[in-house]
Amino acid sequence: MEFFTISLLNGVSYGLLLFMLSAGLTLIFSMMGVLNFAHASFYMLGAYFAYQVSEWTNFWVAFVIAPVLVALLGGAFERTVLRKTHKFGHVAELLVTFGLSFVILELVQLVWGRTPVEYKVPAALDGSLFKLFNSTFPTYRAFMMVVAIGMLASLFLVLKKTRIGLVIQAALTHPDTTEALGHNVPRVFAFVFAGGCGLAALAGVIGGNAFITEPGMAQAVGAIIFVVVVVGGMGSLGGALIASLLIGVMQTFAVGLDWSFIGGLQSLGVDVTPETFGYPVWKLKLSQVAPILPYLLLVVMLVVRPKGIMGTRDE
Amino acid sequence: MKVSLKASAIAVAVSLMAVSAASAQTVKVAFIEGMSGPFGGVGQNQLNHFQYAAEQFSGKNANSGVTVQIVPMDSKGSPQEALALFKKATDDGIRFISQGNGSSVAGVLIDAVNKHNERNPGKEVVFLNYAAIDPDFTNSKCSPWHFRFDAGVDMKLEALTNYMKDNKAIKNVYVLGQNYSFGQQVSKFTASMLATKRPDVKIVGNELHPLGQVKDFAPYIAKMMAAGADTVVTGNWGPDLALLIKAAKDAGFKGNFYTFYAGVIGAPSAIGEAGTDRVFQVSYWHPNVEKNALESTYTGFKYKFKEEFYTVALVNATKFLVAAVEKSKSTDGLPVARALAGMKGKGGSGEDIELRAADGAMQQALYISQWTRAGGPGVKYAMEGTGHGFKTVRYLEPKLAAMPTTCQMTRP
Amino acid sequence: MSNAAMKPLHFKPLNGVRIVVWSAFAVILLLLPVLARSNFAVTLLCLTGIAAIACMSYNMLLGQAGMLSFGHAVYTGLGAFVAIHAMNKIGGGWPIPMWMIPLVAGFAGLGFGALLGFVTTRKAGTPFSMITLGVGELVFAAALMFPEFFGGEAGINSNRTAGSGWMHGLGLNFGGQIQVYYLIAIYLFLCTAAMYAFTQTPLGRIANAVRDNAERAEFVGYDTRWVRYLIVMASSFFAGIAGGLTAINFEAATADLVHGTRSGGYLLFTFLGGVGFFFGPIIGAVLLIFSLVVLSELTKAWQLYVGIVFLIMVVFAPGGISSLLMLNLRRIKYGEWRKMRWPYAGMVFFGLIALWGFAAIVEMAYQAQVAAGSGSVVTVARIPMDASVLASWLIAAAVLLFGGICFEIWRRKFNKVWGEGEERIAEAIKKAEAAIV
């Protein structure tokens, strides 16, 4: 019971962080059709900016300023570079963000060095919120969950209930009509791109100190958020939420389970020895493969339901 | 008379030139290491170590004047790149190579050196390995051309389990490692050594996770707590280590961590406060050893590079190489390899060390040290400005850390 | 209607131009090692040859079928692993000669392409890219998880001189690098020819159609998924051959062969070389080896330079270097190139000045950040710059600014001249067409 509760909490909080990361990516993709390969790099920039700003001032200032700065950078990139490649098609757009991820990585290493920086959790949020059986639940994890849920709620409100949201939605489906109505569609796109980058940066601000702020952090999450987006269904925010939570919880529980094929086969009366064909596969424990489960899930999902959980198009 | 004067003058000049030629002997070492890319920081830091060691312990600072000249080659951490660079080094006439970060690179390099030496007699290359500690390199895959200046995984775990043997507080041990050769060896040796030394200790978990793939270690900590572990033995390094310690602190896990790489560049900052008094390290040296033979090197390096100095193996490699060149009066691979085999010297804490001829493994003292707040007795130096440093909790003299070898080779 | 268009078309795969081009290619491959002055140059040639096969096989996906894969190293890498096992089997007495190893690896690549491609090709476009990335991660993780096949972190070693047969009797045992070079050269030539022929097959043409407009291709009656699947398999076959050659060249296979970094490298440099022309990836392969081996020795910031060059190319020359070459060839053909000599010279001159300023800033920043212990002076194109002095930063910035502004002025002139030339060429073409009618 203890293990179950703790694992569930851990899984959900990790899943929510994944959602924060993939929300921006999904948003940009669904609105502009651009897969931002550098999305995880903006996440990293968020963490580094937050580290730098909190060194100068404090965490709370960084919490506000870092995402804004990254959003501005993202918007500038959209206006100066990405927009130029729009006419060459989606492959060029993907490539340009791919190149950007290289450049950001190098620049981060140039400015902050190649070893981890000491980006600390603020004192007010350090420590444990409550004790559950023997383990403690850190306050900061709870804070992360609150921020993620808050972000989800405000995202929903902005998109569904405000005028800006309506314009954004209109610009997506009917860009020409929206333009004819006097709205600046390119500016809407820049706004969306900046917003998506800002969301990634926000995830970086709260993920950077919960985990570790170092140059490898972008690559570490880069592939997994792509999995979230594909499994959730390309361009679906709701799907991304479900997929993030699914992956978070699944990974967390898998770590705790020492199941392997050998155990399963033996309970079925099949004897497996090191001489059996494929022994290296049968002996693997579920806990050992936990971190790559998302990729397995991706493969299974593509075979069973190529359009993803909430996807609408079957490309 | 005049003629003979002239002749003797020439003779003097010639002999002077001979002396100066001998004293100006330079031995080039190709340093094949990843110095760009994600793990470039470590490689650059090791290069700094090597260059500093060459500056301090060769050339004008060596009695004979033998100079070690380091030729950095950036392998980007890739074994394939390293092989290409190895070819470049041999084409440039370099006879000594050095590498350490990553047993994958070391493994292919040992093999490449063996093949090269077999196919190019007279142009033998010697491999000075300063940190790749796969025990196979000095056992089943041993080579007369390979010398390892670090202590092997087996030696380090022998030392660690000897320490754990006497610590009666240890009851439930959890082994966690990255799923690749090093992590697998840690898991294997810990289990087998503890089983003979402390049969009463229970291994409550033996877990491997993919290298660098885990972002959140909280589930692993939850599992450790569920298993009732009081001690964790882990071969993790880099972010995998830092994240593990952080997660342990967050979840309120009270156990101790026995590690190999808590002192490597970047790890001290990342562990920081979270690891106070509960992170232990097994190593052949640390800045706060008693009888510190390298204190001035440590402070000098730290002043110059604003980085921690910890890779004593590179200092020893430099010293031994200089001594071997002096002894063999040659900078060729074969005579120097002959001189290196069985060579003796002094280690980082003044102990007697020996590059064992049977397998090319350095026999040296090992330390178990604890991550503690600096300033107290035994913790003179803090690392990376964290206010924490390592304190010796156990010193094991070379013979206590020695391991038998199964190496079967004939030295040429 | 012109008479020319009325003539019936004949399938003539070997026309004069082609014979000349391919013979020249063969002669160049034959003579390159003679021109190489050191052993290391031969090593470089070997690497370039292998990379050329890999990049061309990648271009079958990207250039021919418009499939942007982030996991191409999976096929080269797995091919190399199968090859290394087969080489060890030869050492253990298998009766196949060593030169057939790349073929074995090719078929292994084909097999893995059939297996993994079944999953990845379920989607096209952007989702395909993301899936290949995920599958690449999966394979890399598996490479470390199954040391029984992949040899764990240390990989698997082998010996290319193993085996016996008539070739060994002639001294052809691949012990020396030069023999390996000629093996690679032969495979490179054959693979290039085969891949070129493939572009001319109906399947190769349909792949173009699927790339340009999948919907229409579907409407015409082709199953686009099936086309993608076949292309992935064909591409994996050649990727496997490249992997097999890697195994022979290095006599070792390690997990980093399947890593995403390598896939990213193929993508980056194939694109830089140019995806629009068949020979583009060969230029890309040369650049790949140049950057990895030569540029990375010159500067620690090589990845930054590569990244920025890539960004600039995507934005301003999405056709890569080969398209730039072809555009200029067209100018020469129409006698327009002469007018652009000065604009070109101006752009190159001021571009180099701006580049120097930029490189000085980057190099000083690296020196200050990465290698601070070894002094603060760094030499940029023979000019020493001291990173600890503010003045050198100001100088570099001023040079960058000056060069940049002058470059922009010349670029505008160039654009004008280029545009005028373009108009004249269009007119000339129109006239020529009118003359035929």
Query: Per-residue DSSP letters for A136-152?
Result: EEEHHHHHHHHHHHHHH
| pLDDT greater than 70 at residue C6 | no
Question: C36: which DSSP letter?
Answer: -
Of A261 and B197, more confident: B197
Mean pLDDT of chain C: 87
Domain identity same for C201 and C255: yes
Domain identity same for B383 and B353: no
| Residue B256: strand, helix, or coil | strand
A209: domain CATH number is 1.10.3470
Is residue B97 classed exposed, middle or buried when 0-12, 13-18 and 19+ CB atoms within 10 A define those classes? buried
Cα–Cα distance for residue pair B401/B364, rounded to 1 Å: 7
Query: Cα dist. C291→A88, A170, A196, C246 in Å?
Result: 27, 46, 33, 18
Cα–Cα distance for residue pair B372/B384, rounded to 1 Å: 13
Q: How many angstroms away from the CA of B132 is the closest CA of chain C?
A: 11
**CA–centroid distance for B99 within its chain:** 10
Domain identity same for C275 and C362: no
Flag whether B315 is in a domain: yes
Q: Cβ of C435 under 8 Å from any chain A Cβ?
A: no
Domain identity same for B103 and B136: yes
**In sequence order, which residues have a C-beta less than 8 Å from that of residue B167 and are 6 or more positions away?**
none
Which residues lie across from B369 on neighbouring strands? B281, B392
Flag whether C231 is in a domain: yes
Flag whether C370 is in a domain: yes
Flag whether C282 is in a domain: yes
Confidence band (pLDDT; 50, 70, 90) for C164?
low
What pLDDT does B144 receive? 94
Query: Cα dist. A286→A283, B180, B207, B225 in Å?
Result: 10, 17, 11, 19
Q: pLDDT digits over C378-408, tens only?
A: 888 788 888 888 888 999 999 999 999 999 9
Flag whether A120 is in a domain: yes
Low-confidence ranges of chain A (pLDDT < 50): 314-315
Domain identity same for C152 and C82: yes
Q: pLDDT digits over C34-72, tens only?
A: 888 788 888 889 999 999 999 999 999 999 999 999 999
Q: Are A310 and A238 in contact (CB under 8 A)?
A: yes
Flag whether B2 is in a domain: no
Domain identity same for C132 and C269: yes
Cα–Cα distance for residue pair A91/C21, rounded to 1 Å: 31
First-to-last C-alpha distance (Å) of chain A: 43
Q: pLDDT digits over C108-150, tens only?
A: 999 999 999 998 898 888 888 888 988 998 898 888 778 788 8
- At C420, which helix (H) or strand (E)? helix C390-436
Q: pLDDT digits over B338-351, tens only?
A: 999 999 999 988 89
**C252/B184 touch (CB, cutoff 8 Å), yes or no:** no
Closest CA to C291 of C282, C281, C301, C277: C301
Domain identity same for B24 and B97: yes
**Residue range of the domain that includes C423:** 334-436
Of A192 and C82, more confident: C82
Flag whether A170 is in a domain: yes
Please identify among residues 356-375 of chain C the ones whose CB lies closer than 8 Å to any CB of chain A.
Answer: 362, 365-366, 369-370
Q: Cβ of B78 under 8 Å from any chain C Cβ?
A: yes
Q: How many angstroms away from the CA of A216 is the closest CA of chain B?
A: 6
Residues of A in contact with C308 (CB under 8 A): 99, 103
Count of other CB atoms within 10 angstroms of residue B230: 17
Token pair in block for residue B51:
């260059």
**Residue range of the domain that includes A129:** 2-257
Domain identity same for B249 and B352: no
**A256/B250 touch (CB, cutoff 8 Å), yes or no:** no
Which residues lie across from B345 on neighbouring strands? B353
**B179/A224 touch (CB, cutoff 8 Å), yes or no:** no
Q: How many angstroms away from the CA of C40 is the closest CA of chain B?
A: 5
Closest CA to C255 of C354, C377, C150: C150
Confidence band (pLDDT; 50, 70, 90) for B355?
very high
| Structural domain count, chain C | 2
Residues of A in contact with B207 (CB under 8 A): 287-288
Query: Cα dist. B395→A117, B276, B283, B398, C399 in Å?
Result: 32, 20, 10, 10, 58
Q: Which chains have 3 or more CB–CB distances shorter than 8 Å to chain C? A: A, B
Q: How many angstroms away from the CA of C174 is the closest CA of chain A?
A: 34
| Structural domain count, chain B | 2
**Residue range of the domain that includes B111:** 9-151+293-363
Cα–Cα distance for residue pair C4/A163, rounded to 1 Å: 61
Closest CA to B212 of C268, C425, C193, C260: C260
Cα–Cα distance for residue pair B104/B96, rounded to 1 Å: 19
Query: Cα dist. B219→A140, A222, A257, B256 in Å?
Result: 16, 21, 11, 17
Flag whether A289 is in a domain: no
B106: domain CATH number is 3.40.50.2300
Flag whether C52 is in a domain: yes
Domain identity same for B172 and B245: yes
Of B15 and B152, more confident: B152
Nearest CA in chain A to B44: A114
Q: pLDDT digits over C322-347, tens only?
A: 999 998 888 888 887 788 888 889 99
Residues of C in contact with B305 (CB under 8 A): 372-373
- At B355, which helix (H) or strand (E)? strand B352-355
Sign of CA dihedral A127, A132, A137, A143: negative
Cα–Cα distance for residue pair C146/B179, rounded to 1 Å: 9
Of C49 and C261, more confident: C49
| pLDDT greater than 80 at residue B89 | yes
Domain identity same for C298 and C411: no
Confidence band (pLDDT; 50, 70, 90) for C170?
low
Q: Cβ of C23 under 8 Å from any chain A Cβ?
A: no
Q: Cβ of C145 under 8 Å from any chain B Cβ?
A: yes
Domain identity same for C96 and C171: yes
Confidence band (pLDDT; 50, 70, 90) for C77?
very high
**Nearest-CB residue to A315 (from C125, C136, C145):** C125
| Residue C117: strand, helix, or coil | helix
Percent of chain C scoring above 70 in pLDDT: 93
pLDDT (mean) for C313-323: 90
Domain identity same for B264 and B332: no
pLDDT (mean) for B41-48: 86
Residues of C in contact with A254 (CB under 8 A): none
Instruction: For residue C103, report the phi and psi dihedrals to the nearest 5 degrees.
Output: -65, -45
Flag whether A201 is in a domain: yes
Flag whether A196 is in a domain: yes
Confidence band (pLDDT; 50, 70, 90) for C165?
low
Please identify among residues 297-326 of chain C the ones whose CB lies closer than 8 Å to any CB of chain A.
Answer: 301, 303-304, 306-308, 310-311, 314-315, 318
Domain identity same for B227 and B306: no
The b-or-e profile of A100-124 (16+ CB within 10 A means b, else e) is: bbbbbbbbbbbebbbbbbbbebeee
Query: Cα dist. C146→A287, B94, B187, C86, C153 in Å?
Result: 15, 36, 16, 18, 10
Mean pLDDT of chain B: 87
What pLDDT does B1 receive? 41
Cα–Cα distance for residue pair C35/C54, rounded to 1 Å: 24
Domain identity same for C394 and C301: no
How many contacts does A have with C, using Cβ atoms within 8 A?
128
Domain identity same for B213 and B274: yes
| The domain boundary residue, chosen from C287, C317, C347 | C317
Residues of A in contact with C134 (CB under 8 A): 223, 226-227, 230, 294-295, 298-299
Q: Cβ of B214 under 8 Å from any chain A Cβ?
A: yes
Domain identity same for C82 and C181: yes
Cα–Cα distance for residue pair B315/B335, rounded to 1 Å: 21
Chain A residues with at least one Cβ partner in B under 8 Å: 2-3, 6-7, 10-11, 14, 109, 113-118, 120, 128, 131, 134-138, 140-141, 211-212, 214-217, 219-221, 224, 251-253, 255-256, 287-292
Quote ipTM for the complex: 0.86
What pLDDT does A315 receive? 45
Token pair in block for residue B345:
């010297």
**Nearest-CB residue to B252 (from A136, A140, A256):** A136
Closest CA to C186 of C251, C104, C253, C245: C245
Q: pLDDT digits over C273-314, tens only?
A: 999 899 999 999 999 998 888 888 888 788 899 999 999 999
| Structural domain count, chain A | 1
Flag whether B349 is in a domain: yes
Cα–Cα distance for residue pair B57/B264, rounded to 1 Å: 23
**In sequence order, which residues have a C-beta less than 8 Å from that of residue B208 and are 6 or more positions away?**
A288, B176, B177, B178, B179, B183, B184, B187
**CA-derived radius of gyration, chain C:** 25
Percent of chain B scoring above 70 in pLDDT: 93
Domain identity same for B243 and B387: yes
Domain identity same for B269 and B359: no
Nearest CA in chain A to C212: A89
Domain identity same for B239 and B387: yes
Q: Which chains have 3 or more CB–CB distances shorter than 8 Å to chain B? A: A, C
The b-or-e profile of C64-88 (16+ CB within 10 A means b, else e) is: bbbbbbbbbbbbbbbbbbbbbbbbe
Domain identity same for C267 and C343: no
Cα–Cα distance for residue pair A306/C130, rounded to 1 Å: 13
Q: Cβ of B306 under 8 Å from any chain A Cβ?
A: no
What pLDDT does C379 receive? 80
Q: Cβ of B40 under 8 Å from any chain A Cβ?
A: yes
Flag whether A97 is in a domain: yes
**C155/B108 touch (CB, cutoff 8 Å), yes or no:** yes
Find the range with the poorest average confidence among A43-47, A105-109, B379-383, C9-13: C9-13
Domain identity same for C142 and C109: yes
What pLDDT does C374 receive? 65
Domain identity same for C295 and C352: no
Flag whether B74 is in a domain: yes
In one-letter notation, the amino acid at residue A126 is D
Domain identity same for B249 and B387: yes
C139: domain CATH number is 1.10.3470
**C256/B306 touch (CB, cutoff 8 Å), yes or no:** no
| The domain boundary residue, chosen from C257, C290, C317 | C317
